[in-house]
Structure 1
Amino acid sequence: MPRVLYIDDDEGLRLLTSRRLRRLGFTVETAADADSGVARLSEGGFDLVAIDHYMPGKTGLDALAMIGALASPPPVVYVTGSEETSVAVAALKAGATDYVVKTVGDDFFDLLASSFRQSLERRALLAAKEEAEQALRASNERLAAMVKEANHRVANSLQILSAFVNLQASAVGSDEAKSALRDTQQRIAAIAQVHRRLYNSDVVDTIDMAEYLLQLSKELEATWSTPKSPRTVDFTAEPMRLKTDRAVSLGIIVTELVGNACKYAYGEDQAGVVRIRLVKEMSRFHLRVEDDGPGVDLGAKPKGTGVGTRLIRAMAQSLGAELEYGGGPGARICVTAAL
């Protein structure tokens, strides 16, 4: 049976209310004024409290404010006279869950019991809602932590794989094999960097492309530059975010295009610049990679293995992107796709 505290200065009404509400399924205790009632509430154990408005010393509104200051206040049903609508509204604004007009007769006790049940049901629903939300937040936090840990492990595994490829490259004698393994290492690095960023970010489903491609550009510049043939990668981008899989596809495209420009646009003893521009237009993005070399001859036989070209086309297809090639002087490749 719900335990209710009824606060009213009318001793006869307190006694009558206590008896009648017991018959209606409530355990009722009473208090004669605001101070004694709030003191009993502070001891805990009550599921609900009903307060009369007019009491000596402190009114029901005063008691309502005192109850609201408790650590875990129970729901409050406010009892007013028939002509005191403004008082009832003030009580509801102050935190009361319901109000009942005090009348003579059995209807008052039936209405009071009904209001008690509704207030308790509302409190139970709110408690269940809060519990469900807390469980959902905890589940989301666990899931986010698992995803971050997975990204951390993937990034570490890719780093180990990159080290193995590097060891293999140092062991082979063929320049063609060394070049192919170096290309593979760059592709691995492009993917690994996505997972490193996901691990270090609070957002686990999208990537900040400006930051990602800027760091990737720096790594590509360091990889392809030598003292005799320095390569500069000039990168600018507008802020945008892409889903993780789309970020990986675009990162591989950038890796291949920059690698091709660094290998084929400039001579071995020649400095060179590769320009990368990423812009957003409405719901689409445009990536442009340019160099100052002789340009692209689409009909010519590939200078390398052709794997890079096939990768670019495959990644563009996964993005649903359009590829455009501009001829010399200088090569210009544009990738356009939806965000």
Structure 2
Amino acid sequence: MDRDMPVDHRETTILYIDDDEALGILLRKNLARQGFKVINAIDGKSGLSQLASGGIDVIALDHYLLGETGLDILPVIAEMPDHPPVVYVTGSGDASIAVEALKRGADDYVTKSISTDFVDLLIAALKQSLERARLRREALASQEAMRQARDRAELLLREVNHRVANSLSLVASLVRMQTSLIADPVAVSALQETQMRIHAIGNVHRHLYVNNQVGTVDIDDYLKSLLGELQSSIGDEARPHDIVLVADALQLTTDKVISLGLVVSELVTNAFKYAYPPGAAGEIRVRLSRRDGQMIELLVEDDGTGFDPDAPVKGTGLGTKILNAMAATMGGDLTYDRSSVTGTRARMTFPI
């Protein structure tokens, strides 16, 4: 045992449980020279009573006791909260007893003998057990400090998400108010699209706050909420379309979800506006699934009049630029499937 070990044993109290009172007295004298205070107990009942009184730093527990063994007492000690470390003492040459003692909660074991080495070995085992117990306490204290720091950071991040969501809702409301004051239909349409884009971003932060999530978002729940808002805000008598969502239970990082939300908003909005003739009801399907382990596939499709990506853009073309930018940001590839006779199928694949 390293004599320079930084553990101060001058105040260390040992509970020694052994029915051999003569050996107990001998050990008390030898351990006192090492700076230990020893309390003797001749059986399990008196030992547990001493332990319950407190002030015990480490326990030396003999195997053979009157009417019982140390293995009967070990589980009782192990169930006590913050119990001292236990060094098991046995005179048996059967290694299975020592193994069983370790299984039941002993920190170390020493084989009892009549030689002077026994005292030295016991002292070394007691010191090592105390050192391991100190390291465990320090590790637990560090883990608790880290947990508290993490909880504070998560609480702060939740508050940030809450404030961001509220601020974006305020911005969307201001855009809506501005829209109501404009007569130009092109400007009105542009502002409405801007409002929907703001909602798509704000919905991510609102989802993080409401679901107490940090850093990752449940995609299926988020898309369900986002598409519900789009259905309410875009659907009317001229566009009585239904949105059908089929999404795998996946989690993505916040930045990817924001980009994904904008892509879904743009594609669904385009389908609402252009896929079907005015007044005709139609279905818009959104599917999100995992492909090939680390890839995700997004499909947005309808059964409408079809879409030619090479044709001149309708409106300002900002939506197309946003789609391409978000796909690039996600490391994805956005294409349009022309194999179907009717309708439009937009497909985007991107890595998790």
Aligned residue number for residue 300 of structure 1:
311
Matching of residue 323 in structure 1 with residue 334 in structure 2? yes
Checking the alignment, whether the CA contact within 8 Å between 1:9 and 1:55 is kept in structure 2 is yes
CA distance 1:122–1:334, change in 2 (3 Å): same
Structure 1 residue 245, shift from structure 2 partner:
1.1
Checking the alignment, whether the CA contact within 8 Å between 1:296 and 1:326 is kept in structure 2 is no
TM alignment of 1:1-339, pairs within 5 A = 1=10, 2-282=12-292, 283-327=294-338, 329-339=342-352
TM-score norm. by structure 2 comes to 0.89
Aligned Cα root-mean-square deviation (Å):
2.1
> 2:80 & 2:279 partners in 1: Cα distance?
79
Corresponding letter in the other structure for 1:204 = V
SS at match of 1:275: strand
TM-score norm. by structure 1 comes to 0.92
SS at match of 1:173: coil
Structure 1 residue 82, shift from structure 2 partner:
4.8
SS at match of 1:274: strand
> 2:200 & 2:333 partners in 1: Cα distance?
21
SS at match of 2:312: coil
SS at match of 2:64: coil
> 1:235 & 1:56 partners in 2: Cα distance?
72
CA distance 1:92–1:169, change in 2 (3 Å): same
CA distance 1:71–1:294, change in 2 (3 Å): closer
Pick which of 236-245 and 167-176 moved more.
Answer: 236-245
Structure 1 residue 66, shift from structure 2 partner:
4.1
SS at match of 1:105: coil
> 1:225 & 1:63 partners in 2: Cα distance?
73
> 1:218 & 1:93 partners in 2: Cα distance?
56
> 1:297 & 1:67 partners in 2: Cα distance?
76
Checking the alignment, whether the CA contact within 8 Å between 1:42 and 1:70 is kept in structure 2 is no
Length, aligned pairs only: 339
Q: What are the ranges of 5 or more consecutive residues in structure 1 without an aligned counterpart?
A: none
Structure 1 residue 274, shift from structure 2 partner:
2.4
Corresponding letter in the other structure for 2:201 = I
> 1:69 & 1:280 partners in 2: Cα distance?
46
Pick which of 258-267 and 79-88 moved more.
Answer: 79-88
> 1:127 & 1:19 partners in 2: Cα distance?
30
Checking the alignment, whether the CA contact within 8 Å between 2:296 and 2:349 is kept in structure 1 is yes
> 1:26 & 1:335 partners in 2: Cα distance?
72
Structure 1 runs (4+) deviating above 4 angstroms are none
Pick which of 18-27 and 217-226 moved more.
Answer: 217-226
Structure 1 residue 71, shift from structure 2 partner:
4.3
Corresponding letter in the other structure for 2:31 = L
> 1:54 & 1:274 partners in 2: Cα distance?
78
Q: What are the ranges of 5 or more consecutive residues in structure 2 without an aligned counterpart?
A: 1-9
CA distance 1:197–1:80, change in 2 (3 Å): same
Structure 1 residue 115, shift from structure 2 partner:
0.7
